[in-house]
Each structure stands twice: as structure tokens, then as C-alpha cells.
Structure 1
């Protein structure tokens, strides 16, 4: 026992000896977090992968009397942080560049608003930002459009609407997949509503997604429900992990542009009644596409837009659009829609909780430059959470019906048939119908974009 004590004592001396300014007083992050737990009697949730290989310089010198200040001192140099789940319990997180404190976001929005005061100065601001958006997205110049036709499956008949799956080649061998909902009876030109899917379980096969698009079709519109990049059926070509890589943002934006290119050639689409509405990450997509493409005449981002949240997925913020023209944010980009009708649906359970206080009044002010303050609306649901639930869908139905002169009386979600996932796929249940030229793998996509850059 005495021998063991002597060994531990010598080991502690060696440890202390290694702690000096020449070596920057280093300690492993894991050991520092464990010491913080012991000293302040708190719990810090972390995985071995999060702390593996990470060292804190001047570790002991970063400790303060307050645990929150200590955690900030330790983690900030490593681009890490903690979320406080409750008193005494923290969870280790990577630095979230896209998530600001509300006060910081509001201050930034005020800074942006100080750059313009009327329609002329606002249009000048837009002219500075818009070309930069395409450049940041690697879409300037626009990649060549494949000379191919859409791929359709057979039409399925339901109560007041039909469904047909469709794939469109947006880059050589890269396909956007979705389901096209149309009214059973179509007379002349009808509205088109692009309906990108958000970051929710089961992608566009979800019940609430089918209900929304089918109901829009029963109201008299053509609704196209489509996958995000490396999401849903797109995972036949790319891995799920590829969705969280920066080029996902470029491909998703191009998807919407190519869809507009196609749909606006159809004789049954009214070019003056083209809308887009998505929730969560697809809400960010909705705002960006509307800012870039004037062919969109109505937009409805749902539980998405905030001056202090830039989008938590690289498909929303992975490319430097928010650095354009000295910096911008999603609310300023949403203002690009003015004076086109725009609906923001917000709730009390996510980063849209404060929309009525700062973000919506800002948008009303921009719309007032065009004498169209009433063209931007906000439906705020303070007791609801982050989803595309029934009340959010009802807000969308009402907004679209009023602005596109559609039949609100046709809204009856109980008349929608929920299909099984395999029925909604373009390329077969196991991808057996995927075209022979289909690109596979993120490396090939990256190489294609590099070839475009080299050709400039």
C-alpha cells in the first residue's frame, strides 16, 4: 500500500512538472470537463468522439468562480459551447455559427435596416446582394441545363386529385425527385405551388406532407412535393451524410430553378400564380429561391425565418450567401419578396418565437416602400412547436386561396388518402429504375462543380 501511494505521489509530481508556460499548461479537454464537473458539482454530457484529440491550453488558468464563465473560457478557443438543459446539467456542442443570441440578431437586423430608407435605396441594396448570392452558390454562370425530358410514373386517382411521381435531371446524371399533385379536373391554366420538404422524419412521404399537397390540389392548384438533396429518393445517388455538405445548398437551389424552367413550359401552369412553401430547412430554401427568382409570385416560409438563426444545416448556410454585401441575414433575404405576397408562419417552440416582435415589423416596413404593407402576413402560434401541423397548414390554405383565387371550400383533409412510401417513388422501391447515367457519390458532384469553375 505504501509503495502504491509513493508511485501515485511521484506521478502527481510529474504531472505538475509538465504544467508550465513553456508547454502552455496543457490538459486534455476530457480531463478538464471532468474536473469542472467535480469542482462545480454539475453534469456535462459529452461523447468520447467530441473530445477526442482536443487539448486545452492554459487549462487551469481558465477556471473562475462561476461555472458558466469557466465553461466559456475553456470551450470558446476550441469553437465549442454548452447548451444548458436545466440547472446543473449541460450538453457539449460544436460552435454553432448559424445560431446567435436573439439580441445579437436583432441588433444585426437594425444595422441592415439602417442602410436604406425608401424604395430606391432598398432596390440599390438588393442590386448589391443578388448577384453575390448566385456567385456564392456557384451558380454564376448557371450550369448548362441537360437536354432531357422529365421522367413520369403512372397517374393515381383519388378523391378530387391525382398523384404522379416525377424526376427531373438538373445536372448531368443528377435528378430531383418528387410527386406531382393535380386537381382531378383541370380547366385552363392553374396555380403551381412548389413544396420542398423540410428536415423531418420520413421526408416527403410523411402524412402531413401528403395531406398538404393533396389539399392544395383539391383546392385547384398543382403542387409538386420534392426532396432535398441527399434526402428521400435522392439517397439512391448520394449518401445521407452528403446532405450536410456545402454543395447541397447549391444543388437544392438549382433544383428549384430547373423545376420552374420545366413547369413554366407547361400549358396548364399559370405563370402569374406560381408559389413556393416549405417548412423548417425547406423554409430557408423557400426564402432563398424567392430572393433569386422573380418567377415566384408568392412565398410562405413556415417555422423557418429568424434574424438570429441562419439555418442549422449546410443546405441552408453551407455556402457564404450570408456574407454578401457586407453581411445579410434570412429576414433581409425574405424582404426580397416585396411586393409579392408572403406569409410567415411562426411558433413559440423554436427560433421563430419572437417573429412578431422584430422580424415581421421589419418586413412590413420594407413592403411599405411599395405601398404593399398588407401583402406580408404573419400567423404566430405561440403555444405550438416546430412542425407543419394542422394550424400551420390551415394558415397556408387560407393565404394561397385569397391570393391565387382558389377554392377554400375544398379544404377537407379527411378526404386525403395517405399512400405508402414505395408508391411515391420514381425509380422503384429499391432504385431498380434509376437511369444508367445517374451520378453517384459526392466526389463526382464536387468534381463536376470544379470543372465548371475551371471553365470560367
Structure 2
């Protein structure tokens, strides 16, 4: 009998400790606030131990594959989807003062269409390989022609200064519209339960955009940059961390850190 008394006391103590871990002392707090506090504590724990095992460049090189796998897991891209044919198609062309615009789409996965505009200098020497900029747009819906139209001046600037610039429509905010902020405005928390985040698809679309750029004979594959503003700044972080072909990344007003 004494054994069972001790066992019961031990279980009570353990349950109290577990309750503290999961926010149970705040019994008068609404459930959603309890969950938020618990998640905040877990986030802080992850932050506190992050990179504790990296003290040198050698440590980083050894651990980088593991961190990269964790990163792809968070994006819902592990294992990374197979690279299927892009089927890049130019649907129209505009010739302007000093630059040309190719209106195109490609498929980052079968039937996952990415609409884009490619800006290039009007005059390119035969055999010349130009630096290229993948430009990822922010969260600025602009109707039937896609949110890439809000950033035309940037693509034009790059083309007039000797760059090839591929300006991508943001997922679900381009010519093919759908719900983008599902967990932000629509309460579709089951997206995470299914391993889906629009950030992962945007990252994949960017990686495949780089595939398209380096497939072009006028692009130097060693000089690939990524940039974007706001949501495009965030996507710049994601793509640069995922794809080692990115030589330069310039995130603008996207987030404080990765």
C-alpha cells in the first residue's frame, strides 16, 4: 500500500510539472491565450539553443546538411519535389526603348503554373552572357494581369542597366488568383497540419525560376541574384537559403531575420 501512495504522489507532482509546462497555472486565462503563451515559450527555447553547437566554420560545414533538411521540412519541401519539365512558354513580347519584355509562364510542378515577365536589354552581343536577377514580388494584388505589374519599373531598370530580370507573380496573387493568406485571414490552420505553407511553394517557384534563367543562352549561371520587397523580401531569404546557385541576395523590407 505504501508503494501505491508513493506512486500516486509522484504522478501528481509530475502532472503539476507538466501542467506548468503547458500553461495550466493560468487557469482563468482564455484557451487561445494559454496556447499562445505555450507556443511563445517553446519558440524561446528553440531560439535559445539555436546554433549552440556551431562555434567555427568547420562546425557549420559539418552541420549544414542537417540544418538544411530541417529548413526544407519547415517549408514542406522535404523531400524536395523532383524537378519536372518547366515547359516554359512565351505568350507575348513587347519592344520598348532600350529593353524587351517577354510575357511567359512555366510549370514549377506539373500544372503548377508560374506567370512572369522577363525584362532584357534590347541589344545583346552575340555570345554574351549577362547577369540575371530573379525578382520576387510582394503581397500586392493587382487583378487579372498579376501583381508583377506593380513592379515593372524595377524590371525595366535592370534591363536598361545590362541585367536580365525575371519578375515572378506571387503565388495566388498573379494571373491565377486564389487564397494566399489562408492562415492569416481565413483561419485555415489545417494547412499546417497537412504540411502546406504558401512560403514553401513560393520558394519552389523561385528555385524553378532560377532553373529557367540558367537554361537561357544569354544568362551567366555564375551571376544569379535574387531580390524583392516586402513579401518579396521574405521570399528572397527563403530562396537564397534554399538554392546555393544564388550569388547575391538583396531582401528589402521583408523581415528582421531568417
Structure 1 residue 168 corresponds to structure 2 residue 106: yes
- Provide the secondary structure at the position in 2 that maps to 1:306: coil
Find the structure with the greater CA-based Rg. 1
> For the structure 1 residues 118 and 218, does the alpha-carbon distance in structure 2 shift closer, same or farther, using more than 3 Å as the test?
same
> For the structure 1 residues 239 and 287, does the alpha-carbon distance in structure 2 shift closer, same or farther, using more than 3 Å as the test?
closer
Out of 170, 188, 201, which is 1:228 matched to? 170
Structure 1 residue 198 corresponds to structure 2 residue 111: no
Match of 1:303 in 2: 253
How high is the TM-score relative to the length of structure 2?
A: 0.72
On the 8 A contact 1:230/1:243 being kept in 2, the answer is: no
Shifted more, 186-195 versus 196-205: the winner is 196-205
Aligned-pair Cα RMSD in Å: 3.1
Match of 1:412 in 2: none
The 1-side partners of 2:208 and 2:90 are apart by 16
The 2-side partners of 1:137 and 1:217 are apart by 32
On the 8 A contact 1:227/1:234 being kept in 2, the answer is: no
**Structure 1 residue 234 displacement after superposition:** 2.5
The 2-side partners of 1:108 and 1:173 are apart by 37
On the 8 A contact 1:178/1:226 being kept in 2, the answer is: yes
Q: Which has more strand, going by share of residues? A: 2
> For the structure 1 residues 233 and 224, does the alpha-carbon distance in structure 2 shift closer, same or farther, using more than 3 Å as the test?
same
- Provide the secondary structure at the position in 1 that maps to 2:229: coil
How high is the TM-score relative to the length of structure 1?
A: 0.43
On the 8 A contact 2:207/2:243 being kept in 1, the answer is: yes
Match of 1:122 in 2: 60
Equivalent residue runs for 1:417-456 within 5 Å = none
- For this pair of structures, how many residues does the alignment match? 216
On the 8 A contact 2:92/2:103 being kept in 1, the answer is: yes
The 1-side partners of 2:106 and 2:141 are apart by 24
Out of 50, 54, 57, which is 1:112 matched to? 50
Stretches of structure 1 that go unaligned for 5 or more consecutive residues are: 1-58, 63-72, 82-94, 308-329, 331-456
Match of 1:289 in 2: 239
**Structure 1 residue 173 displacement after superposition:** 1.2
The 2-side partners of 1:148 and 1:194 are apart by 16
The 2-side partners of 1:129 and 1:232 are apart by 32
The 2-side partners of 1:79 and 1:162 are apart by 53
- Provide the secondary structure at the position in 2 that maps to 1:198: coil
Match of 1:381 in 2: none
> For the structure 1 residues 270 and 230, does the alpha-carbon distance in structure 2 shift closer, same or farther, using more than 3 Å as the test?
same
On the 8 A contact 1:277/1:299 being kept in 2, the answer is: yes
The 2-side partners of 1:180 and 1:112 are apart by 39
On the 8 A contact 2:86/2:109 being kept in 1, the answer is: no
- Provide the secondary structure at the position in 1 that maps to 2:118: strand
The 1-side partners of 2:201 and 2:179 are apart by 14
Match of 2:32 in 1: 78
- Provide the secondary structure at the position in 1 that maps to 2:251: coil
Match of 1:140 in 2: 78
Structure 1 residue 257 corresponds to structure 2 residue 257: no
Stretches of structure 2 that go unaligned for 5 or more consecutive residues are: 1-25, 185-190
